[in-house]
Amino acid sequence: MKHNALTLSGPRVTEGCIRLPGSKSISNRALLLAALAEGTTRIDNLLVSDDTHWMLSALKQLGVSVQQVGQQYHVQGRAGFFAASQLAQVSLFLGNAGTAMRPLCAALAASSGSFELTGEPRMKERPIGPLVDALRELGADIRYLEEEGFPPLEINGSTLLSGQVSIDGSLSSQYISALLMILPLLEGQENTRLELTGDLVSLPYIDITLAMMREFGAQVEQLDERTFLIPPGQRYVSPGDYLVESDASSASYFLAAGAIAGQIRVEGVGSASLQGDKAFADVLARMGAEVTIEPHAIEVQAGPLQGGDFDLNAIPDAAMTIATLALFAQGTTCIRNIGNWRIKETDRLHAMATELRKVGAGVEEGEDWICITPPSSLQAATSIQHATIETYNDHRMAMCFALLAFDAAGVTILDPQCCEKTYPAFFHDFNQLTS
């Protein structure tokens, strides 16, 4: 266990303007689509973090040329799937990056060669069965090397043919996105008809995938929420320059800071963004903050915050920020339909409930919901108890609990370096904007 810690004193206020690093979800999708496309893609504002490091490392192992030129990353596409030597298996270590593990699993299943996908111990606890089941429907040869339904995987790439395929979308939208991105490149005589089953989660992330696929030239017809038609034999074509939006999930911590004490302007995310987490600003408005949303910016000013009952299935990452923001609201805040918190970097429902109780909050936790009641003396400015917060090697736990610096008690956060997964400069930026 790591024991390095960061203490943030309080109380604080926030004021200023920030442009955030690129979106993790868009960054890793852009890298993979660029690698599969014809031509060179020049990617601007690519997130520099652990997750993108693992994707970049894997692509280079697979023979993709990636060069950093100033602030851009130039990716020379392969005009199709990957091809590895038949003489040796390619072993790819992907850390705890779900946005690398899931899409690479799909792409390599349709490539030529033998591959092993593995990662950190937590990655071996994150299910991948629904994606593997769907790929097997298309003819994929994938074997579990340890526990059934979980990485590590052995993939013997083969030609996958278009046709009927279904996938369970009740655990993670990443399975659906991974499958969608390879379907235009399949061979065959008929359209692929993709059917989504189960209670769907995080649907805005599927919208991101579809928009990006189309920007790289793919044709996808969405018949309804659960049904897609994809013609086979397509090719991705580089759009030339590709700008990665600022990360809307990371924006949530600064927007919440503005809602608690002061005002903030976040640029690079707004109503025109592809990311569903832009809807976090709407939740702040419902809780009582003053919110102004522009096409490429969001401003938030503090107001008297009230708890509420929110179904945040569509924005599960940003929903974590509401859990700590609830400590600064009157009444109880309930966050529902977030069962997929349990299969993220840690079991986020259990972790969040455990750490919130340390600061004196009343917490009820269900299979897919959490209700938080702030300490009764909240308005006396002595409400929240100082606590040492365990982050479970989960970047979002560290960033969410930074908000406790707006209370006089402050907070101590263990292993703040876990933020390197998506936002290495988070605490530097947080301290710059708060005082």
**Three-state SS annotation for 314-331:** CCHHHHHHHHHHHHHCEC
For the question of residue 317 being annotated catalytic, the response is yes
124 is in an annotated binding site: no
CB atoms closer than 10 angstroms to residue 342: 15
Please report how many Cα atoms fall inside a 13 Å half-sphere around the Cα of residue 425, on the Cβ side: 10
Q: How far apart are CA 210 and CA 230, in angstroms?
A: 11
278 is in an annotated binding site: no
Tokens 């605490």 correspond to 427
Contact status, residue 184 vs residue 231, Cβ threshold 8 Å? yes
29 is in an annotated binding site: yes
DSSP string for 19-77: EPPBPHHHHHHHHHHHHHSBSEEEEES---SHHHHHHHHHHHHTT-EEEEETTEEEEE-
DSSP 8-state code for residue 244: P
Q: How far apart are CA 89 and CA 104, in angstroms?
A: 15
126 is in an annotated binding site: yes
347: helix, strand or coil: coil
376 is in an annotated binding site: no
Tokens 């442009």 correspond to 19
What are the structure tokens assigned to 288, written together? 């009582």
337 is in an annotated binding site: no
What are the structure tokens assigned to 119, written together? 């990662």
CB atoms closer than 10 angstroms to residue 3: 6
Query: How are strands ordered across the β-sheet holding 5-8?
Result: 5-8, 411-414, 388-389
Tokens 């692509």 correspond to 59
Q: How far apart are CA 43 and CA 46, in angstroms?
A: 6
98 is in an annotated binding site: yes
Phi, psi of 422 (to 5 degrees): -135, -20
49 is in an annotated binding site: no
- The CA-atom distances, in angstroms, between 257 and each of 9, 265, 302, 324, 425 are 15, 11, 8, 11, 17
114 is in an annotated binding site: no
Partners of 413 in the beta sheet? 6, 389
271 is in an annotated binding site: no
102 is in an annotated binding site: no
27 is in an annotated binding site: no
> Distance of alpha carbon 144 from its chain centroid, rounded?
25
Q: In 227-300, which ranges are continuous DSSP H helix?
A: 248-260, 280-287
Pairing of strands 221-224, 411-414: unpaired
Give the CA-trace dihedral at 44, 47, 49, 51, to 10 degrees: -110
Which of 277, 317, 407, 415 is flagged as catalytic? Answer: 317
173 is in an annotated binding site: yes
Please name which of 174, 191, 163, 97 lies closest in space to residue 129, comparing C-alpha atoms: 174
**Residue list, annotated binding site:** 24-25, 29, 98, 126, 172-174, 202, 317, 340, 344, 348, 396, 421
Residue positions in the annotated binding site for 3-phosphoshikimate?
A: 24-25, 29, 172-174, 202, 317, 340, 344
Q: Which residues are annotated as catalytic?
A: 317
Per the annotation, binding residues for phosphoenolpyruvate are 24, 98, 126, 174, 348, 396, 421
